[in-house]
Chains A and B, each alone.
Chain A
Amino acid sequence: MPETASPSRANVVLRSALPSVLAIVTSLVICFVAVALLRGGVAVAVDAFLAMTWGAIGDVPKLVDGASIAVLLRPWGESATKAALLTLTGLSVAVAFRVGLFNIGAQGQLMVGALAAAVVGAGLELPPFVHVPLCLVAAGAAGALYALGPAILKLRRGVHEVISTIMLNWVAVSLVENWLVPGPLRAQVGGGNSVAGTAQIHESAELPRLVGEVSRLNAGIVLAVGAALVLWLWLSRFVGGYEWRAVGLGPEAARAAGIDVSGAVVRAMVTSGALAGLAGAVLVLGTEQRYPATLGAPYGFDGIAMALIGNGHPLGVLATSVLFGGLRAGGTRMQLFGVHKSFPELIQGLALLLVAARLIWIRLVDRLAPPRGGGP
């Protein structure tokens, strides 16, 4: 740590989180102004942003007007689903970051994980308390195996993980979406009807819904929050986690200190793949109930944004993902005000761009609130 004096703990947290917060706020303001300019005034922009907010946290005005609690629970379900997916892929990328690896392959790992969950979910008939965990384990294992290859290639042959994971993404697309899903694993239905994707999973494999059928709020978000907490504890309180961080900060120094660098890299990469695989399982077991013909959103790549905006910290990733999960779920509603369907992604992209300019924010923070003890 370059700081000379020891600033208070709150100060440290603040200084690492503030650039991200400022970047997000700035991107929201820019996007607000853009909507106001392009879509006919501030009133429209206010309406659109309010619609997004109610779509994210629940339609409070409608509830006050006497609508059923569903207007609250449904948006929660959608926001939580997206937040869970983003958290898991974000953690996946963040874990790899910690040992100094750039895992661009979360998307591919997510796809094989999703497929594994769909196959185990549809292929076996078991009681729910066994079936759901088994599907999750299968998805995690598939993702982990898929990430193991690049880790071994890196250690044995020095193949850069960016190259190998990017290429494995395409292998996953070809293997899963161009061959297995439309081919051998395609759902068989009677008559002249066609169904896209794999067979529907059994009810026993569905992630339990938390508030009944009225909302899609499911156990996926619990899993994601749990993963973030466990990872945070592991990295900050356990020797193994300390070793990962040491390897990430300087592999040579870590080796000199007697840390098993190769082992740490393999373990972190496998964890990374497993987390991305779990994201695939949450998608299949939570909302889709099958592997669809094509997996819509590139959550694996969004994970990179979550990890960067969340500053690589598990709790930062969680907070970022909850925010953007909400924005995305709610952003759909902005279409009613003529705003493009990709608007939430635009906010996310802008925030990422601004986070990349971290130094500017740090300098700004320094000027406004000089670090105590370290002042010139």
Chain B
Amino acid sequence: MRWVLLLVLLAVTGCKKAADSKDTPKARAVGLVTDIGGRGDQSFNDSALRGLEAWAAGSTFKGGGYEPLTPKARAATVPAELRATVKPVPVRPLVVQSKVQEDYQPNLQLVVDQGASLVIGVGFALENAVETVAKQNPDARFLLIDSPVLDAKGTPLKLPNVRTVVFEEHEGSFLAGALAGLVAKDTVGFVGGMEIPLITKFEAGFKAGVLTTNPKARVLVQYTGSFDNVQHGKQAGADLVNKGAEVVFHAAGSDGSGVIQAVKEARASGKAVFAIGVDSDQSHLAPEAVLTSMVKRVDLAVWQAVFDLDRQAFSAGDVVMGLAEGGVTLAPVTLDFPGKAEALTRVEALRAAVVSGAVVVPSTLDALKTFTPPASQGGG
């Protein structure tokens, strides 16, 4: 056992002081519990973490602790149009990642016990856990992302200490569809993951958008039946491209990177096709093939809640974030295509029409049937 002693001695002498890494105890703590995707998922959880750690707390997580970001580095994480509004908030992040489903509830309870003023549950998988823990800790405040609180039968339920945020994905998809209709001549495609209300919402908005800018275009639709199978996505994407789709929009989680791969390969073989990504700006997956992405601003929703908390304005209730609130948007279009300037002007006009309420985007396929596209105002 002598070598163990030696190692312990090494540890004592060879390490920096523990006190250095302690944060200032004054800042109030904001807890965040990820779903099993966790830190580094390049999507939902990372977006939420960005909202709390970088935008609000102005820090970055490195080697098991937080390091402050320079104002410039912090600003670089905020998209240009939000830089003026998204201000730093003096908070201390308290992040706990979930290894497995059954850890959601104890993890939420843990950050409550640590004295967090606000506890954020990322993703609709945490719905049950947030409901239980919020009921057991009526004095703590919670933010649930991407789902209302539901009872056992699935009917929405209000709790006095929970704010929930859902996104109007159909509004963002509407703009994606409008752009796709302007880029494509006669055929566009949509790849969905599972055929559930959350995803048909994307389909309805997208179809409405295409109908608005290119009423004659066909919309080919395919569902992969999964969210975690790149091969399924690739197959569906290749299928739609072979049937003549010129722009393919996906709302299929990880399957979607397969869709983008298929489009990328089709481009390499000389076809003029584009993909439209989802959730976060996916242009890094294939810069030459991804036209834009329908972005869900989870980071903004998180920052907003933290900001409200800081100025004593945090309120419970169900928040819906659409185009008007900046909850959904299109990522900047960097690729070139014929008639780009006019197309972007038209899309911006449609965004303004949705924001002002002049256009109501259908959120279900039933509502789509009665949707009358707004007349084009002398578009090019």
Contact = CB atoms under 8 A, between A and B. Distances in A.
Contacts of B98: 341
A215 to B, nearest CB: 10
Nearest to A26: B4
A172 interface: no
Contacts of A37: 10-11, 14-15
B15 A183 contact: no
B221 interface: no
Contacts of A339: 64
Contact of B11 (A42, A78, A194, A337): A42
A125 to B, nearest CB: 13
Interface in A271-317: 283, 287-289, 292-297
Contacts of B344: none
Chain B, interface size: which category?
Answer: 35 or more
B64 A38 contact: yes
A341 B154 contact: no
Nearest to B148: A193
B100 A297 contact: yes
Contacts of B150: 189, 193, 195
A78 B106 contact: yes
B363 A341 contact: no
Contacts of A337: 64
B152 interface: yes
Q: Secondary structure at chain A's binding surface: helix, strand, loop or mixed?
A: loop
B10 A40 contact: no
A341 B152 contact: no
Interface in A36-63: 36-45, 55, 59
Interface in A66-119: 71, 74, 78, 81-82
B106 A36 contact: no
B257 to A, nearest CB: 18
A297 B11 contact: no
Contact of B225 (A74, A183, A287): A183
Contacts of B113: 59, 71
A210 interface: no
Interface stretch (A2-10, A239-247, A328-336, A348-356): A328-336
Interface in B359-377: 363-364
Contact of A332 (B21, B96, B156): B96
A43 B99 contact: no
B147 A193 contact: yes
B235 interface: no
Contacts of A29: 4
A82 to B, nearest CB: 8
Given A193-B197, A293-B125, A33 B7 contact: yes
B103 A41 contact: no
A200 B152 contact: yes
Contacts of B229: 178
Interface in B1-21: 4, 7-8, 10-12, 14-18, 20-21
A192 B97 contact: no
A374 to B, nearest CB: 26
A216 B109 CA distance: 12
Nearest to B150: A193
Interface string B198-223: 10010000000000000000000000
A178 B225 CA distance: 8
A178 B226 CA distance: 7
Nearest to A29: B4
Interface string A181-201: 011001111111111100010
A332 B11 contact: no
Given A36-B15, A37-B11, A287 B102 contact: yes
B109 A336 contact: no
Contacts of A340: 64
B110 interface: yes
Contact of B363 (A33, A178, A192, A329): A192
A194 B197 contact: yes
Nearest to A183: B225
A55 B107 CA distance: 11
B201 A192 contact: yes
A40 B103 contact: no
Contact of A335 (B14, B18, B96, B198): B96
A316 B364 CA distance: 56
B86 interface: no
B148 A341 contact: no
Contacts of A236: none
A272 to B, nearest CB: 23
A74 B99 contact: no
A288 B96 contact: no
Contacts of B101: 288, 292, 295-296
Contacts of A216: 105-106
A45 B201 CA distance: 49
Contacts of B110: 55, 332-333, 336
Nearest to B123: A196
A336 B11 contact: no
A36 B154 CA distance: 47
Contact of A336 (B94, B128, B196, B226): B94
A33 B99 CA distance: 23
Contacts of B16: 40-41
A292 B105 CA distance: 14
A288 B102 contact: yes
Contacts of A11: none
Interface of A: 29, 33, 36-45, 55, 59, 71, 74, 78, 81-82, 178, 182-183, 186-196, 200, 213-214, 216, 283, 287-289, 292-297, 328-329, 332-333, 335-342
Given A40-B65, A189-B150, A194-B196, 20 more contacts: A33-B4, A33-B8, A36-B11, A37-B14, A42-B15, A74-B106, A178-B225, A190-B153, A192-B198, A192-B201, A193-B147, A193-B197, A194-B147, A194-B198, A195-B150, A214-B136, A216-B105, A296-B99, A332-B106, A340-B64
10 contacts: A178-B229, A183-B225, A191-B156, A194-B147, A213-B136, A283-B102, A289-B128, A292-B101, A296-B99, A296-B100
| 6 closest cross-chain pairs (CB), A and B | A338-B64, A189-B154, A296-B100, A36-B11, A194-B198, A297-B100
Interface of B: 4, 7-8, 10-12, 14-18, 20-21, 36, 38, 63-65, 94-103, 105-107, 109-110, 113-114, 124-125, 127-128, 136, 147-148, 150, 152-156, 194, 196-198, 201, 225-226, 229, 363-364
